[in-house]
Amino acid sequence: MSTERRQTSKQEREPTAFETRDFYLACFLRCSGYELQGLRSEGPRKVFVFRDRASRRDDVMAFYGDATSVRPLAFAATIKDMKGLLHNG
């Protein structure tokens, strides 16, 4: 019986980044526990960069489908924090 070791590529081991320009989606992701890795400029606009998760597609679809929720006060506080980041970053 032979044992085969599966070699994983760097992409399989390290989560990739997910980027969005949608401010309220970014706030939702923050409230949902996604790690904000950075904010970068794209012309006059800003792009939010998050550490990706396997469940991200479902989370984004739930957000746009109005099929999810976050704590309202946490969402409001995150909006304030993210606006500060946009204006001071």
Domain ranges of the chain: 15-88
The closest alpha carbon to 40, from 15, 14, 16, 19, belongs to: 19
- State the average pLDDT over residues 2-25: 69
pLDDT digits (tens, 9 = 90+) for 42-52: 999 999 999 99
> What pLDDT is attached to residue 48?
97
Higher pLDDT pick, 12 / 30: 30
Whether the CB-CB separation of 49 and 37 falls below 8 Å is answered with yes
Does residue 67 carry a pLDDT above 60?
yes
Does residue 83 carry a pLDDT above 90?
yes
> What pLDDT is attached to residue 77?
97
> What pLDDT is attached to residue 13?
52
The CA–CA distances, whole Å, from 30 to 8, 11, 16 equal 29, 23, 16
